[in-house]
Structure 1
Amino acid sequence: MCRVCDDFVYNKLNVLGKFDTIICELIHPKFYHLDTCFAPVDQTTALWFPPAFSEQTKKEIMRRLPHSIAVSEEEANAFVCNAITVRNTVLSPRGIKDSTREALAQRQISVAELNMSEFVKSGGACQSLVLRL
């Protein structure tokens, strides 16, 4: 981790306002970017691949997002954590398992699976199609 980089980012954020931040340490070489292993769903839920994170980060995610749903390695490899949520629907690349779908349904969240195969080839999926304004 780059302490100077972190300080620079946090100082810039403080100029914009008071933000609650979490430092997420990724430890898995394949899941080197947060949007490959973590997708926020609602205020207390995320889809995530726990082996991608350090123990400290895992604890912090579960403390702040207690209803988070761990995806399997197979799902993570299919970029399921590159999903986006629109209202109460998770837009996910194909590959979400029934157990994950059921866990989301218990939170009144539906799933729409999309063919993202061409985007997955370059390391992205649903989040890669979003332009946040």
Structure 2
Amino acid sequence: MTVARAATDPSRVYLMCPPEHFGVEYVINPWMDPQQPVDAELALKQWQCLRETLTGLGHEVHVLPPRPGLPDMVYAANGAFTVDGTAYGARFAHPQRAAEAGAHRDFYQDLGWRYVRPTETNEGEGDFAYLPTAYGGTILAGYGFRTDPDAHRRVQETLGRPVVSLRLVDPLFYHLDTALAVLDDENVAYYPAAFSPASQRVLRQLFPDALLASRADALAFGLNLVSDGRHVVLNDAATAMTAKLAAAGYQPVPVEFTELHKGGGSVKCCVAELRG
């Protein structure tokens, strides 16, 4: 494993949406259990802590106003995927989340960005990850549960970056961001068994120095993280992953995230990157 390179300019711009209406009101992934109570006050406190952690690291955080009736809107990463000031919008797989796409569209249009309305099902950064300098700028794209592989082709044509399609095979890791994380401009961490054998071979070829996560790491949502290339913000329950990141030369920043985990997401799910 190579030691993490310090980014020339580690500052990032992010989008988050507060969990004012968050709750587990239905089941659309294996982690959700409406019988398990959610502490709304604690969920908001943990979200605020995450936001303050990111701003404390020198990053800018925009806030997307939450809308009633959309309890999963807190998972802001799912609303779009952005590169060079273009937002490729989401088209959610489940009707319970469909209206979130409009809220994200309004945000990007108000920001003055180009917004591309999708024709295929996709869930934004949930299934798209970007490495800006790897091979001239590469998009890793997951499919198998939430995103139509035809969306990969359209994203490539829309954003002008090569797309590497990766098939997810374990229902517990239904989004790419639960099974793979971008650590810096060129390298990733991932849990191999979440991917098909062919996709595992692709990942080995592209990222021979990748940090490999265990199943326990992935189950603790240790790959659902936010990295600026130096600092890595992740769920504090992922203790083994925290140690692996430190050993690889990164600076882990653990945060408590028990409540939003109950909806099937963690740190990365709540943070979209705005690449202007």
TM-score w.r.t. the length of structure 1 is 0.82
Compute the displacement of 1:57 (Å): 0.7
Classify 1:77/1:7 alpha carbon distance in 2 versus 1 (closer, same or farther; 3 Å).
Answer: closer
SS at match of 2:234: strand
Classify 1:40/1:114 alpha carbon distance in 2 versus 1 (closer, same or farther; 3 Å).
Answer: same
SS at match of 1:124: coil
- Of 152, 156, 160, the residue aligned with 1:13 is 156
1:75–1:95 contact (8 Å) kept in structure 2: no
Q: Aligned partner of 2:200: which letter?
A: K
Task: Quote the Cα distance in structure 1 between the aligned partners of 2:192 and 2:155.
Answer: 29
Classify 1:7/1:101 alpha carbon distance in 2 versus 1 (closer, same or farther; 3 Å).
Answer: closer
Compute the displacement of 1:95 (Å): 2.9
Find the counterpart in structure 2 of residue 23 from structure 1: 165
Q: Unpaired segments of 5 or more residues in structure 2?
A: 1-143
Find the counterpart in structure 1 of residue 256 from structure 2: 115
Compute the displacement of 1:106 (Å): 4.6
Q: Aligned partner of 2:259: which letter?
A: E
Compute the displacement of 1:90 (Å): 1.1
* Mapping 1:38-49, distance limit 5 Å: 38-49=180-191
SS at match of 2:199: helix
Q: Aligned partner of 1:42: which letter?
A: D
Q: Aligned partner of 2:228: which letter?
A: V
Compute the displacement of 1:22 (Å): 0.9
Task: Quote the Cα distance in structure 2 between the aligned partners of 1:72 and 1:23.
Answer: 22
State the superposition RMSD in angstroms.
2.1
Is the counterpart of residue 50 in structure 1 residue 192 in structure 2? Answer: yes
Provide Cα deviations, 1:22-41, integer angstroms capped at 9, x if missing partner: 11101112111111111110
Classify 1:20/1:106 alpha carbon distance in 2 versus 1 (closer, same or farther; 3 Å).
Answer: farther
Task: Quote the Cα distance in structure 2 between the aligned partners of 1:12 and 1:73.
Answer: 30
Classify 1:14/1:101 alpha carbon distance in 2 versus 1 (closer, same or farther; 3 Å).
Answer: same
Find the counterpart in structure 2 of residue 35 from structure 1: 177
Compute the displacement of 1:67 (Å): 1.5
Task: Quote the Cα distance in structure 1 between the aligned partners of 2:184 and 2:158.
Answer: 26
Classify 1:127/1:27 alpha carbon distance in 2 versus 1 (closer, same or farther; 3 Å).
Answer: same
Is the counterpart of residue 83 in structure 1 residue 225 in structure 2? Answer: yes
Q: Aligned partner of 2:217: which letter?
A: E
Count of residues paired in the alignment = 128
Provide Cα deviations, 1:17-74, integer angstroms capped at 9, x if missing partner: 2x12111101112111111111110244322111110111111112112221221222
SS at match of 1:39: strand
Percent identity, aligned pairs only, is 25
Q: Unpaired segments of 5 or more residues in structure 1?
A: none
1:45–1:65 contact (8 Å) kept in structure 2: yes
Task: Quote the Cα distance in structure 1 between the aligned partners of 2:223 and 2:209.
Answer: 15
Classify 1:119/1:56 alpha carbon distance in 2 versus 1 (closer, same or farther; 3 Å).
Answer: same
Q: Which has the higher helix share?
A: 1
2:152–2:165 contact (8 Å) kept in structure 1: no
